[in-house]
Amino acid sequence: MLIFAALMWGVAQVTHSIKITSSTASTIAADSSLSFVQLLAIPLLLALGVFCAIAGVISFNRAETTVHPLKPETASSLVTSGIYRFSRNPMYLGMALVLCAWACYLTSIWSVAGIVGFLLYMYRFQIRPEERALEAIFGQTFIDYKKRVRPWI
């Protein structure tokens, strides 16, 4: 997630400086502060993201199973309670929401590419392998869970 956040910042810096060099002084002054919508959206997205991620970790701890994302085959139980009743990937959803807050702060439409990149990367290299491992371990129970609960929200 930090890599994507850093890339988003870099893109925002490049695109913002392009915008500034071709804009008027009044536009530059207007761009230097956050709007009312941003002041509402940033803390809301940040709080919701942190809540989702922490709720996911708490659910794993209560089930006494691993949170280690690179070792899904070591899962001792399938967590379907708590926030996992609503999302199969609340920790990753939380990270994506934090990146949304970051994109709002950066005020660059190009920052959205970082969020999309993060989601695609997580789905391809983390979620799909995790779900294959969980299906191998828990079989039909996991398949039924996948039918009931969406991957994100």
Q: What is the pLDDT of residues 106-135, one digit of tens each?
A: 998 899 999 999 999 999 999 999 999 999
Q: Higher confidence at residue 11 or residue 45?
A: 45
Is the Cα torsion angle 128, 132, 133, 135 positive or negative in sign?
A: positive
- pTM of full prediction above 0.95: no
End-to-end Cα spacing for the chain: 19
**pLDDT above 70 for 19:** no
The tens digit of pLDDT for each residue in 40-62 reads 999 999 999 999 999 999 999 99
